[in-house]
Amino acid sequence: MKGIFIAYDQAYNMEIVEALEEIGCRGFTMWQDIAGRGGIDGEPHLGNHAWPTMNNAILTFVPDEKVDDILAMVRAKDEETPDLGLRAFVWNIEKYY
């Protein structure tokens, strides 16, 4: 099992959730209207007059075999609109209840 944290510009809104559902990922936790700035490039998303946009984020836990499909979806969306900002991070889940 893997945990995947996806941070994205709020312009994607429910598009990320719908894409996860198409891949067969039902469960997730979503945070809306969060501030942040990417570590490589892109503009800050701070919700102020200078940087008015905000981010959303999703945390989902999936079987290992779903990871590549999710990352491919994230990469494709990011390549379509690279200025918006979209990243996914994956880590191992050792135990859960």
Is domain 2-38+46-92 in CATH 3.40.50.1100, yes or no? no
> pLDDT tens digit string along 39-92?
777 788 888 899 889 999 999 999 999 999 999 999 999 999 988 889 999 999
Confirm if 85 and 55 have CB atoms less than 8 A apart.
yes
Confirm if 4 and 59 have CB atoms less than 8 A apart.
yes
Indicate whether 19 pLDDT > 80. yes
Q: Where are the domains of the chain?
A: 2-38+46-92
What phi and psi, each to the nearest 5 degrees, are found at residue 14? -85, 0
DSSP label of 88: E
Residue count (the chain):
97
Query: 72: how many CB neighbours lie within 10 A of its CB?
Result: 11
